[in-house]
Amino acid sequence: MSTDDNDRGKGLRSQTACVGVATALTSLSIVIVALRVYTRAFIVRNIGKDDAAMLLALLLTIGYLAVIFVCRDNGLGYSGRVLTPEQMVNQIRGTLAIEVMYYFLINSIKISILFFYLRIAAQKHFEHLCKGTIYFLATFGGICVICTLAQCIPLHKMWDFTGMVKGKCINTTALFYTTSSINIAADMWILGLPISTLLKVRRPGREKIALIVIFSLGIFSCIASIVRLHAIRIYTESKDPFFDAVPINLWSMVEVNMGILCASIPSLKALFSKAQRERSQNSASYQYHGRERSGGKSSKGSSGNGSAGTVIQNEAYDLKAVESGGGEAGRPDTRKSNGGGGAWLASDSELEEQRIIQPVSGV
């Protein structure tokens, strides 16, 4: 067998593995997000900003998969020795599109999780941390996209193999390492944000552990991010980057799909729990703490403007009352509370059966 034939065989195997894993995970993400949207729209009857951000992430994931198919048709995973110049140019253009989509995609998932955190924010400090992180991620994502599109000036020098195009390119290795490291740090920060609030909840140890586990599902995506950083090193140090482009794409798809799945699966509880469906269908929504709502405890006839924490209807307590061990006094009046105050809405599907808030999406 000749060297070219051997290279083609290796390229085909790695290409098949990458496309197969990416297609399977993306298909699963489509199903889970579709069920999430159905649950929130028709069972819980309350779609929020976290769901919108997750839908955007899913659309970008589908776009990423489409580009992988384009790269496959142009020899993804094959050695540069067996590729035509046109195939190499098309792969680099596809890589540029993937880089832009990836930054939008990964930050959309993180922002979706933070929007969910805002649904259960019972303390101003926690609320401000979540909002500050959202602003940081939006700014960071924008900077990443600008740097990606300006990595070569003019941009088409990026796929110039002749050296005839005048211009310059930045050190993309440093760019990838920096952005990936910040993404991993952001994952860890988001994972740790709700821990102090959960530890304050006065419930049996088993229930606390269950809540922490649900909120910590995103650790799988964080692990994939770390493995992806290793794949970046392989790609940037490779003598044949076309052949070594498969690992970074494979682990990028694992990372983003694991993020979508871990953030969406907990929201499906109302879909499979009969008791949860009945609570959702027979009661109104509850609201979480917002900027314009502060002051004393909720009372009968309150419109939600005087609550210091989450106002929950139908056999549920606000998070602040749960933290302080409150009993009946922590229960708002469900007959007169009208959900005013302009706060964003959250639904009964996030309530634990033991009157603890059930997360809609987790990290």
> What does the alpha-carbon distance between residue 327 and residue 207 come to, in Å, rounded to a whole number?
17
Q: What is the pLDDT of residue 312?
A: 36
Residues 153 and 222 in one domain: yes
Q: What is the pLDDT of residue 165?
A: 86
Is 3 a residue whose pLDDT tops 70? no
Percent of the chain topping pLDDT 70: 71
109-167 pLDDT, tens digit each: 999 999 988 887 778 888 999 999 999 999 999 999 999 999 999 998 999 888 888 99
With b for 16 or more beta-carbon neighbours within 10 A and e for fewer, the 331-352 pattern comes to bbebeebeeebebbbbbbbbbb
Number of domains within the chain: 2
Q: Is residue 361 part of a domain?
A: no
Given 254, 272, 290, the domain boundary residue is 272
Residues 198 and 311 in one domain: no
Residues 315 and 265 in one domain: no
46-94 pLDDT, tens digit each: 889 999 999 999 999 999 999 999 999 999 988 888 899 999 999 999 9
Residues 140 and 281 in one domain: no
Residues 317 and 185 in one domain: no
Q: Which residues pair with 351 in a beta bridge?
A: 357
Residues 169 and 263 in one domain: yes
3-state helix, strand, coil in the chain (%, to 5): 65, 5, 30
Q: Is residue 187 part of a domain?
A: yes
Q: Is residue 87 part of a domain?
A: yes
86 CB neighbour count, 10 Å cutoff: 9
Q: Which residues pair with 153 in a beta bridge?
A: 168
Residue-number span of the structural domain to which 229 is assigned: 3-272
Selection from 58-72, 118-132, 227-241, 312-326 with the highest mean pLDDT: 58-72
Q: Is residue 63 part of a domain?
A: yes
Residues 10 and 134 in one domain: yes
Residues 63 and 190 in one domain: yes
Q: Is residue 109 part of a domain?
A: yes
- Neighbouring C-alpha atoms within 13 Å toward the C-beta of 241: 12
Q: Is residue 82 part of a domain?
A: yes
Residues 332 and 221 in one domain: no
* DSSP one-letter code for 83: -
Given 250, 272, 294, the domain boundary residue is 272
Q: C-alpha distances in angstroms, 309 versus 304, 329, 352?
A: 10, 14, 17
Residue 129 CB partners (closer than 8 Å, separation 6+) = 193
Interhelix angle 3-38/245-264, rounded to 10 degrees, is 10
Q: What is the pTM of this model?
A: 0.74
Look up the CATH number of the domain holding residue 43.
1.20.1070
Beta strands in the chain (DSSP E): 152-153, 168-169, 286-287, 345-346
Q: What is the pLDDT of residue 289?
A: 42
Q: What is the pLDDT of residue 172?
A: 86
Residues 270/44, Cβ–Cβ less than 8 Å: yes
Is 279 a residue whose pLDDT tops 80? no
Q: Is residue 362 part of a domain?
A: no
Q: Is residue 358 part of a domain?
A: no
Q: What is the pLDDT of residue 278?
A: 57
Residues 114 and 198 in one domain: yes
Residues 265 and 281 in one domain: no
Given 239, 272, 305, the domain boundary residue is 272
Residues 266 and 160 in one domain: yes
